[in-house]
Chain A
Amino acid sequence: MLRLARLHVSSGSAAEDVLQETWMAVLGGLHRFEGRARLRTWVFQILLNVARTQGVKDRRTVPFSALTADLDAGPTVDSARFQGPQEPFPGGWRQFPAPWTSPEDAALSGEAERVIREAIMQLPERQRVVIALRDVDGCKPQEVCEILGLSPGNQRVLLHRACAFVRQQVEGYFSRRHAARTERT
């Protein structure tokens, strides 16, 4: 929850304030909770409201409704990476994506994690909130739809675009690192 709050405001202590305000609102409003939604869903909705209000004050966040561009169609991988209709394998990779992990780094860790965090911060808000709820907070798809009022299809589109962007950023990081290493040798 703190992570989700942190995505909306400019500092860690502001995120903690958001969290505290959320719990106060939850505790204060508990008698109004009608059990129509799951408690967890309801708490997340309150958290997002508080975080957004605070984020708008911080000028960090654009109001949710003002954003439409993040559902735009268009490929999530640059079409220049695939062969054109005149080439031997139309729609096939020109060059395969390079694997990330080498024996010395068995899993994404340390710096890659920082790259991922930064990439998530750069996402348009709806994608950021969806990836945060799904992957960071471990919500189920249906829960995310309820919290954000999204259709299942749109929820998947937002998640897909978010993951594709983050993957691309990590790829950029690895290829820069690789280039730097090759230069040194």
Chain B
Amino acid sequence: MTAITCAQLVELVTDYLEGELDELTARRFEEHLALCSGCRTYVDQFRQVIQAAGQVAEDDLSWQARTHLLAAFRGWRER
């Protein structure tokens, strides 16, 4: 297998991050990253997106939702 291009690498990012690339492709992926700062930026931004999407979640249950839920649980216990 020959080296992978930038256009190919961007389609492999998720498989790489999930550890689903076969050993040879994963090695080619890492070799490419070591040499190409453009792709390093791309992969880094992909990671940032994943991390930030997780943080979006942290606006937790609102106070109102908690009250509703507690009421629902109480109703259940009393049955």
Give A contacts to B, CB under 8 Å.
2-3, 12-13, 16, 19-20, 23-24, 27-28, 75-77, 79, 82, 89-93, 96-100, 107-108, 112-113, 116-117, 120, 131, 135-138, 141, 152, 156, 159-160, 163-164, 166-167, 170-171
Chain B residue numbers with a CB within 8 Å of A91 are 5-8
Chain A residue numbers with a CB within 8 Å of B41 are 96-99
> What CA separation (Å) do A116 and B8 show in the bound complex?
25
> What CA separation (Å) do A99 and B43 show in the bound complex?
11
Chain A residue numbers with a CB within 8 Å of B48 are 100, 107-108, 170
Contact of A135 among B11, B15, B53, B60 (CB under 8 A): B53
Contact of B72 among A2, A27, A120, A141 (CB under 8 A): A27
Mostly, the A contact residues are helix
State the Cβ distance, B34 to closest chain A Cβ, in Å: 15
Q: A89-B5, A156-B18 are in contact. List 14 more A-B contacts (CB 8 A).
A: A3-B56, A20-B65, A24-B76, A27-B73, A92-B7, A93-B38, A96-B37, A97-B45, A113-B55, A152-B20, A156-B20, A159-B14, A163-B50, A167-B45
7 examples of A-B residue contacts, CB within 8 angstroms: A2-B61, A23-B69, A90-B5, A120-B56, A136-B54, A156-B20, A160-B11
Are A164 and B5 closer than 8 Å at their CB atoms? no
Number of interface residues of B (CB under 8 A): 41
State the Cβ distance, A81 to closest chain B Cβ, in Å: 8
> What CA separation (Å) do A83 and B75 show in the bound complex?
64
A-B interface, 10 closest residue pairs, ranked by CB to CB distance from nearest: A91-B5, A96-B38, A160-B14, A135-B53, A136-B57, A91-B7, A82-B7, A93-B38, A16-B65, A27-B76
B27 at the interface (CB under 8 A from A): no
Give B contacts to A, CB under 8 Å.
5-8, 10-11, 13-15, 18, 20, 36-39, 41-42, 44-46, 48-57, 59-62, 64-65, 68-69, 72-73, 76
Chain B residue numbers with a CB within 8 Å of A96 are 37-38, 41
Chain A residue numbers with a CB within 8 Å of B20 are 152, 156
Residue of A nearest to B15 (CB): A156
State the Cβ distance, A24 to closest chain B Cβ, in Å: 6
Chain B residue numbers with a CB within 8 Å of A120 are 53, 56
Chain A residue numbers with a CB within 8 Å of B6 are 82, 91-93
State the Cβ distance, A12 to closest chain B Cβ, in Å: 7
State the Cβ distance, B70 to closest chain A Cβ, in Å: 10
Are A20 and B68 closer than 8 Å at their CB atoms? yes
Are A113 and B56 closer than 8 Å at their CB atoms? yes
